[in-house]
């Protein structure tokens, strides 16, 4: 009796083990990760083992092998096999693009920390598309033709730090798309077709540090566009279609350090456009359509600002009161102020930049200010021309100079070179700018230096010449005359 019992138990045990073994074999033979030749699944994966445990799968790159696999196809359940992987990539290796996020696959891969979806044809991200994955830290959806982000598209991802949606076709950012993402620090939306950011669209992202929405078509923002982003440090809005920056647009962003508004169509900055940005260090407004900075409070309160670019606008006038509150911000060596490529009117208002010549430790800025150009009205231009003639005809100092060199020197101030502009510091005496007599008026524009971006600054004389002529001083009234004389002399001494 005992013997039979033991035999039966033994046989039962054997059958059980055997069937388990077969089961496993069957499962393995039809798994997602099988070599391509033997794999008859609608979804394949290249599965990589873990470095220290080659028997375990660490990451997988998966793709469809047939078209028209539906969202609830049983194939997606095979992702159970990948329940412990840390990295998953979905792509179109066989040229068959997925046109939805396979939530039914992703819900099994609960351990992933990085998910990449590439080159798919996904038009819409459905609610909870990423299955509330709690361990995912990085989600990249670049280059997928996404047009619509549904409400709750990205929700309940406690550890997600980085979300990349660059290079899609997203047209607007609605409210409640980004919900319960308490760790999100970076959100990238570069190069989409975004025209509208709905009020409070980012309100749940209280830990966001970087928001990039450059290269889109945003034409308007308001005081609630960035509500809730009180930890944001970097905001990229360059390459949009903004025309006006209204009051308090950035007021929720008390921690912002860097604001890029370059390459928009900004014509107007409201008085309180930059209100609340006490920690802002850098603001780029280059390549816009600003024509006059007359609202005297625009830059007030930007106590931390050390970098400002207004390059390539159409600014004719800057009221001194606009600049005075922040002028001393640019004394530091590492500070940057760029006002190049603006058609400033020749006016004593430009004197506001004059203290920088003495006081800034940034040599590039010093030279830029010395080379500041302006457009003279006809009357001033005529006076300048008369002065030039008078200088030419004052005689003896030019007697022994060959005429072609003389012409060359004059060409430098020629309209063809400067497109009608003149050096502001040549104009000051003609404009009767009183100025502070203690401020050292530059003898001449300084020597040539190569700037950070490799451009050459337009200049006149070399540093040697500068040194040689240090002793040339002249009363302010005749300043421009003597300046052009000495400039001429030095040009000719080459």
Ligand X SMILES: *[C@@H]1O[C@H](CO)[C@@H](O)[C@H](O)[C@H]1NC(C)=O
Q: Interface with ligand X by CB under 6 A: which residues?
A: 29, 37-38, 81, 83-84, 107, 128, 131-132, 156, 223-224, 248, 292, 316-317, 345, 358, 375, 377, 418-419, 431-432, 438-440
Strands (E), 22-181: 43-49, 57-64, 87-90, 114-117, 124-125, 138-140, 148-149, 154-155, 162-164, 172-173, 178-179
Report the residue number, 451 or 493, with the smaller CB distance to ligand X: 451
Structure tokens that stand for 382 in this block: 């005529």
Report the residue number, 244 or 418, with the smaller CB distance to ligand X: 418
Q: How far is the CB of 224 from ligand X (least distance, A)?
A: 6
Q: How far is the CB of 190 from ligand X (least distance, A)?
A: 27
Q: How many helices (H) and strands (E) does the chain have?
A: 11, 25
Q: How far is the CB of 225 from ligand X (least distance, A)?
A: 10
Q: How far is the CB of 162 from ligand X (least distance, A)?
A: 21
Report the residue number, 83 or 363, with the smaller CB distance to ligand X: 83
Report the residue number, 110 or 142, with the smaller CB distance to ligand X: 110
> Is-contact 294 323, C-beta < 8 A?
no
Q: How far is the CB of 196 from ligand X (least distance, A)?
A: 17
Q: How far apart are CA 48 and CA 60, in angstroms?
A: 6
Q: How far is the CB of 166 from ligand X (least distance, A)?
A: 26
End-to-end CA distance of the chain: 121
> Is-contact 293 319, C-beta < 8 A?
yes
CB neighbours (10 Å) of residue 233?
A: 18
Report the residue number, 70 or 419, with the smaller CB distance to ligand X: 419
Q: How far is the CB of 93 from ligand X (least distance, A)?
A: 19
Report the residue number, 156 or 289, with the smaller CB distance to ligand X: 156
Q: How far apart are CA 379 and CA 361, in angstroms?
A: 36
Q: Which residue do the tokens 């996020």 mark?
A: 101
Report the residue number, 26 or 94, with the smaller CB distance to ligand X: 26
Q: How far is the CB of 110 from ligand X (least distance, A)?
A: 10
Chain-centroid distance, C-alpha 392: 50
Q: How far apart are CA 68 and CA 360, in angstroms?
A: 66
> Do the strands 196-197 and 172-173 form a parallel or antiparallel pair, or are they unpaired?
parallel
Q: How far apart are CA 45 and CA 36, in angstroms?
A: 9
> Is-contact 319 332, C-beta < 8 A?
no
Helices (H), 217-362: 320-323, 354-359
Report the residue number, 120 or 179, with the smaller CB distance to ligand X: 179
Structure tokens that stand for 427 in this block: 């104009």
């Amino acid at each position: 009796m005992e013997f039979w019992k033991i035999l039966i138990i033994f046989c039962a045990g054997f059958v059980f083990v055997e069937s388990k073994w077969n089961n496993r074999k069957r499962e393995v033979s039809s798994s997602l990760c099988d070599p391509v030749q033997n794999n008859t699944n609608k979804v394949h994966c290249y599965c990589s083992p873990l470095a220290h445990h080659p028997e375990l799968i660490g990451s997988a790159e998966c793709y469809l092998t047939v078209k028209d696999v539906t969202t609830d196809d049983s194939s997606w359940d095979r992702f159970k096999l990948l329940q412990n992987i840390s990295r998953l990539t979905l792509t179109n290796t066989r040229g068959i693009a997925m046109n939805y996020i396979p939530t039914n696959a992703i819900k099994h891969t609960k351990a992933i920390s990085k998910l990449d979806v590439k080159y798919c044809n996904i038009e819409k991200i459905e609610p909870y598309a990423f299955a509330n994955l709690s361990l995912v830290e990085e989600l990249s959806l670049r280059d997928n033709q996404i047009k619509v982000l549904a409400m709750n598209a990205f929700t309940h991802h406690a550890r997600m730090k980085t979300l990349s949606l660059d290079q899609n076709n997203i047209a607007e950012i609605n409210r409640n798309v980004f919900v319960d993402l308490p760790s999100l620090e970076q959100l990238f939306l570069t190069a989409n077709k975004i025209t509208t950011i709905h009020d409070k669209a980012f309100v749940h992202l209280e830990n966001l540090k970087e928001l990039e929405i450059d290269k889109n078509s945003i034409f308007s923002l308001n005081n609630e566009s960035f509500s809730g982003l009180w930890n944001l440090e970097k905001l990229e809005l360059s390459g949009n279609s903004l025309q006006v920056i209204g009051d308090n647009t950035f007021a929720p962003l008390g921690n912002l350090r860097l604001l890029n508004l370059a390459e928009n169509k900004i014509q107007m900055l409201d008085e309180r456009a930059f209100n609340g940005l006490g920690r802002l260090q850098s603001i780029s407004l280059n390549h816009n359509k600003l024509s006059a900075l007359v609202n005297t409070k625009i830059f007030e309160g930007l106590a931390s600002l050390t970098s400002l670019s207004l390059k390539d606008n159409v600014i004719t006038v800057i009221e001194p009161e606009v600049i005075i509150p922040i002028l001393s911000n640019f004394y530091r060596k590492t500070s940057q102020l760029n006002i190049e490529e603006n058609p400033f009117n020749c006016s004593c208002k430009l004197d506001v930049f004059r203290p920088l010549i003495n006081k800034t430790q940034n040599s590039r800025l010093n030279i830029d200010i010395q080379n500041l150009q302006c457009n003279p009205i006809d009357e001033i231009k005529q006076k300048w021309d008369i002065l030039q003639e008078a200088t030419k005809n004052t005689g003896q100092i030019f007697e022994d100079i060959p005429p072609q060199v003389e012409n060359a020197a004059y060409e430098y101030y020629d309209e063809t070179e400067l497109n009608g502009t003149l050096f502001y510091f040549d104009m000051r005496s003609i404009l009767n700018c009183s100025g502070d007599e203690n401020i050292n008026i530059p003898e001449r524009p300084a020597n040539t230096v190569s700037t950070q971006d490799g451009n050459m600054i337009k200049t006149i004389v070399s540093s040697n010449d500068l040194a040689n002529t240090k002793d040339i001083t002249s009363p302010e009234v005749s300043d421009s005359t003597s300046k052009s004389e000495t400039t001429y002399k030095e040009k000719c001494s080459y």
